[in-house]
Amino acid sequence: MLPVARVAVDVSLAHLDRTFDYLVADGDSEAAQPGVRVRVRFSGRLLDGYLLERLAKSDHDGRLGFLERVVSPEPVLTPEVARLARAVADRYAGSLADVLRLAVPPRHARVEATGVKAARVHAAPVDADLADVEPADVEPADVESADVEPAMAEAEGPTTATGRLEVPGEIAIPDVGAWGAYRAGNTFLTAVRQGRPVRAVWQALPGEDWPARLAEAAATAAAGGRGALLVVPDARDLQRVDAALAHVLPATSYVTLAADLGPAERYRRFLACSRGQVKVVAGTRAAAFAPVRKLALVAVFDDGDDLLAEPRAPYPHAREVLMLRSAGEKCALLVGGFARTAEAELLVASGWARPVVADRAGVRAAAPRIEAAGDEYATGADSAAAGARLSPAAFAAARGALTAGRPVLIQVPRRGYSPALACASCRRPARCRHCSGPLALPGANRLPVCRWCGVVEAHFNCSACGSHELRTTAIGARRTAEELGRAFPGVPLITSAGETVRAAVPAEPALVIATPGAEPLADNGYGAALLLDGYALLGRADLRAGEETLRRWMAAAALVVPASAGGRVVVGADTSLPTVQALIRWDPAGAAAAELAARQELGFPPAVAMASLQGPEAEVGAAAGTMPLPGGGEVLGPVPLDDLPSSGSRARARDTGAARVLLRVPNAERKELASALKTLAAARSVHKEDGNLRIQIDPSELF
């Protein structure tokens, strides 16, 4: 019976991105279940693939070949993840095979074999209702078409979850009282407990123990007999979540998934998840695809961190993967962070997600006192000598904290930011008058050009203040340990940056110098934080410079004790800057709303959909010229890439002669753009001219 197997073959060629049917030999029939790895003969070659479903007959007219063999009876690709991978491939104009390579770790036969025994010993009984997953009729895709009702019921009240427990009741409903600090916090948790598909954007209060909050939310799902998935940017965050999960869940009921585990351990934990032995998974970006059973909740924290953007084709972002997943599996979604990204703001503004935020009183009670010391730094940033000095405010804040017996956090930007052009008088980033892209100097004694559309700007005129003068924003001189040591003799200096990242520092006086993202936790909180070289961060030639700066500032400031306990933050940038204002008021939602409005105005993502085509100049130009762009779309460029200062810290000498075009369409045409790009890729791969053209939707680096 059901002699046909529908297979997703491991070919990433765009024009072969569909399923193929094979016959199942009698001997393979029992093992050939949906989700197993198979080996098939495809166009003469033997290739890997996944069996997606068994069918009574094929709709293929030609003759079918037989499955070469079933690699293993282990079903590693659940129907839900298969559907998710398809949706992600479509969203990013990529192929299913590419996404599946991100979603399913390589097989490790020995682990698979030993794991079976373990599973027999203490695996939870296979849930009977796993079988009745809904048919693949969900069309999650983007914000407006998701079919889950966004409203959160106001119903509160005691839990009914005990009645729904399907596993032996060792998982207790956690105390989620701390969520009460947030408006709609309890409502959200109640919805998770009841398994309702609510969606929320959460701004953690300064000082919040966010791993604990995530763990509580996950345990709430688990107590109801369902699963949860938590995604964080890096291994350090994951360690914290791991520790927090240990407080609320038995060790056997969750795993963490990280990229650095090694093949055997990685596959072992993946199997624990796919076999339903664990209910909760926490991990870094690839974990967004983990086959957690009966999901009640997917969550991502700090979605502005660029580590959540996958660097391999088709470059999906974990937040988007989880959005698709929450729609496809009808589970709750939580997008959290201290700051709020423009993307998250769009979810709130469109009504797709609800804000889970504290009220002003709650924020005031939790936040440190934040002040700006811009002028001192404005001059200081220009001269290395002056840069070694702390502003009076920063000095006072640091001394106050040290006297109170607490450590001081000093955040310094990483080296290697590319210099951007800014207005010489008001310091706002210099923008192209044609497309609002950032201006850059392609070389000495040359005129500024737009990094997006390539138009030369001969007569700059600042749209904000009218100035005609440009300046390159200085890269902040990193204050050395010696310089700070001179300012505070006798105080221990601790550095956390690059290779040597410290997880935590003791609760005693110390100067802790850290780059963004590497800030150690202080046992009882920092007494003060000094956020140095604000202009270097704000002046970065990046679409997200403002948003990213606030994200980093808030991440550091959140580690400082509240103002009532003497906590102070001094930021080295001018008070009049909107980003500084947002930090002082601790207003992540307001900043995100302003950011989104600005991007709307300028035609930047996520207010519009963008895609980039990168490759040899001639090909890029030809591809962009022939591609049918959805109505209302624009082509920006092509711009030679090697003409421009390379962004970020990555050297990119290899792409000589390479160019890029940007395609910009209204958000309503995002899907058409994706399918047009897929068609383009398919046409190119048929004619073997593929390979040197890189297609990227929502490129993370827009400069």
Partner DNA sequence: TCAATCCGTATC
Partner DNA sequence: ATACGGATTGAC
Interface with DNA (CB under 7 A): 13, 15-16, 20-23, 40-45, 58, 60, 62-65, 685-688, 691
Nearer to DNA, 60 or 110 (CB): 60
Listed residue (642, 205, 196, 252) closest to 451, CA to CA: 642
Nearest-angstrom CA–CA distance, 42 and 61: 16
Nearer to DNA, 45 or 122 (CB): 45
Listed residue (628, 615, 634, 622) closest to 678, CA to CA: 628
* Shortest distance, position 66 Cβ to DNA, whole Å: 8
Nearer to DNA, 20 or 526 (CB): 20
Nearest-angstrom CA–CA distance, 442 and 358: 46
Report the 3 state secondary structure along 562-594.
Answer: CHHHCCEEEECCCCCCHHHHHHHHCCHHHHHHH
Nearer to DNA, 48 or 595 (CB): 48
* Shortest distance, position 97 Cβ to DNA, whole Å: 13
Cβ–Cβ < 8 Å for 8, 49: yes
Q: CB-based contacts of 251: which residues, under 8 Å, 6+ apart?
A: none
Nearer to DNA, 36 or 412 (CB): 36
**DSSP SS3 for 211:** helix
Q: How far apart are the first and last CA of the chain?
A: 56
* Shortest distance, position 674 Cβ to DNA, whole Å: 21
Cβ–Cβ < 8 Å for 288, 325: yes
Nearest-angstrom CA–CA distance, 534 and 307: 22
Nearer to DNA, 41 or 312 (CB): 41
* Shortest distance, position 5 Cβ to DNA, whole Å: 9
Cβ–Cβ < 8 Å for 663, 621: no
Q: CB-based contacts of 54: which residues, under 8 Å, 6+ apart?
A: 2, 4, 5, 6, 24, 32, 33, 34
Amino acid occupying residue 81: V
* Shortest distance, position 62 Cβ to DNA, whole Å: 5
* Shortest distance, position 351 Cβ to DNA, whole Å: 42
* Shortest distance, position 693 Cβ to DNA, whole Å: 13
* Shortest distance, position 673 Cβ to DNA, whole Å: 24
Nearer to DNA, 46 or 384 (CB): 46
**DSSP SS3 for 399:** helix
* Shortest distance, position 133 Cβ to DNA, whole Å: 24
C-alpha distances in Å from residue 622, one per residue of 257, 662, 666? 42, 13, 23
Nearer to DNA, 15 or 415 (CB): 15
**Long-range contact pairs involving 489-496 (C-beta distance under 8 Å, separation at least 24):** 491/402, 494/407, 494/520, 496/520
Nearest-angstrom CA–CA distance, 513 and 521: 12
Nearer to DNA, 13 or 119 (CB): 13
